[in-house]
Amino acid sequence: MRTKVIVSFLVALVLAMAAIIAACAAKPLFEVASLTISPDEVVPGQEVTVSATVENVGQGEGIYSVTLTVDGEIVDTQAVSLSSGSSETVSFVLVKDEVGTYGVEIDGLKGILKVIEPVALLEVSSLDVTPALVLPGQEAKVEAGVANVGEGKGTLTVTLAVNGVETDTRLMTLAAGASDKVSFTVIRDLAGSYDLSINGVSATLTVAEVETYSSEDYLYSISYPSGWILDDSTPDSVGVVKVDIAGVGVDIDILPVAASLDELYALKVEELREELRPVAKKRVINTLILDKVAEEEKVEITSPEVDNKVEEILGDAKDKEKMRRFLALPQVRESIGESLRSQKTMDWLVQLVSGDQEETKEHSALS
């Protein structure tokens, strides 16, 4: 009897232990590893991803709560359900608005996050010279593209150097990610090749030796780069020229090829005609009206009046003799007379509208 009791007790004990062992063997067991902080150095307001891998190394399925803390304070938690032998990466998004160093932790795994002041990084990205070929005394525009590829707003001193000598500066302020352009003007009186540099980015400006073609018939001259060929055999020929018409200088940047310099002059005149055609149409209509009024009211211009206008024009001319010959041409004097007649007619109409009858009658009688 006593033996049976002992045996029964031992069997029960074995069964209980087996049950306990079986129950323990079926429980999940979680391990957390591989903490990452990406990026680990940011500016205020920039998002950071904090992640870690959770693995169930136990025998049963279970749920594990992953906790993110920053400087010892709980920031966020996530629950993950894992079967035996499985793993999962858990990620948190963290944003800090203050500059400083922060201790980041996930279940005993520790790391450091640095939040730094935004840094600007302004760079000169391009440099253009227009035109790249000029005559002595002509302007060239030097334009640089500047971009801020940094994280914060910043200011850059943009410096132009000619042949290694600093000649001008500009200050540019750009927000993060912004870009803009800055321009300088370069004028050189001596022919030669000039190295232009803006904050390390370089280009070349060529100031050409000058040759001049003159036309005594049309009272104009064209100055152009020495050796520049302007004819049909060079269809890609372009250049920078200076045109002087009756003592008045005009710079022309780019001109298409022409068979001769006389044709080049005619070509520019035709281009001006096209540009001024709408204005000219209105002027023609106004002139026709004024001519009719002048005819009816017998408004005339005398030769001395034309002479006086010629002297007035000569007062501003650089080369008075050349301009005088130009203004002495019959068609030019006729044009001046027509202009004076239109002006005198316009003055008469203004007086008429203003009610100055006596002066109007006197003007008509004199005319």
Q: Are 202 and 166 members of one domain?
A: yes
Q: What is the pLDDT of residue 34?
A: 92
- The full DSSP string for 24-50 is HHTS--EEEEEEEEESSEE-TT-EEEE
Q: Are 7 and 94 members of one domain?
A: yes
Q: Which amino acid is at 364?
A: S
Pick 312 or 192 by higher pLDDT. Answer: 192
Range of the domain at 11: 2-115
pLDDT tens by residue, 308-355: 888 887 776 666 776 777 777 787 788 788 888 878 877 777 777 666
Q: Pick the last residue of a domain from 207, 238, 254.
A: 207
Q: Are 111 and 45 members of one domain?
A: yes
Q: Which residues make beta-bridge pairs with 65?
A: 79
> CA-to-CA distance for 283 and 314, rounded, in angstroms?
25
Q: Are 155 and 99 members of one domain?
A: no
Q: Are 110 and 168 members of one domain?
A: no
> CA-to-CA distance for 76 and 70, rounded, in angstroms?
9
> Using 50, 70 and 90 to split pLDDT, how confident is the model at 231?
very low
**288 in a domain, yes or no?**
no
> CA-to-CA distance for 214 and 221, rounded, in angstroms?
4
**283 in a domain, yes or no?**
no
Look up residue 289 and give its DSSP letter: H
**289 in a domain, yes or no?**
no
Assigned token pair, 256: 């298409």
Residue 81, Cβ neighbours under 10 Å: how many? 12
Q: Are 67 and 134 members of one domain?
A: no
**320 in a domain, yes or no?**
yes
Q: Which amino acid is at 84?
A: S
Q: For residue 248, is pLDDT > 50?
A: no
Domain count, the chain: 4
Task: Out of 7-21, 40-54, 144-158, 272-286, pick the least confident.
Answer: 272-286
**284 in a domain, yes or no?**
no
Q: Which phi and psi angles does 255 have, rounded to 5°?
A: -125, 140
Q: Are 175 and 231 members of one domain?
A: no
**275 in a domain, yes or no?**
no
Q: Are 158 and 237 members of one domain?
A: no
Q: Are 27 and 96 members of one domain?
A: yes
Q: Which phi and psi angles does 214 have, rounded to 5°?
A: -120, 145
CATH number at 48 reads 2.60.40.10
**286 in a domain, yes or no?**
no
Q: Are 111 and 25 members of one domain?
A: yes
Mean pLDDT score across all residues of the chain: 77
Q: Are 107 and 162 members of one domain?
A: no
**12 in a domain, yes or no?**
yes
Q: Are 10 and 79 members of one domain?
A: yes
pLDDT tens by residue, 277-296: 555 555 555 666 667 777 77
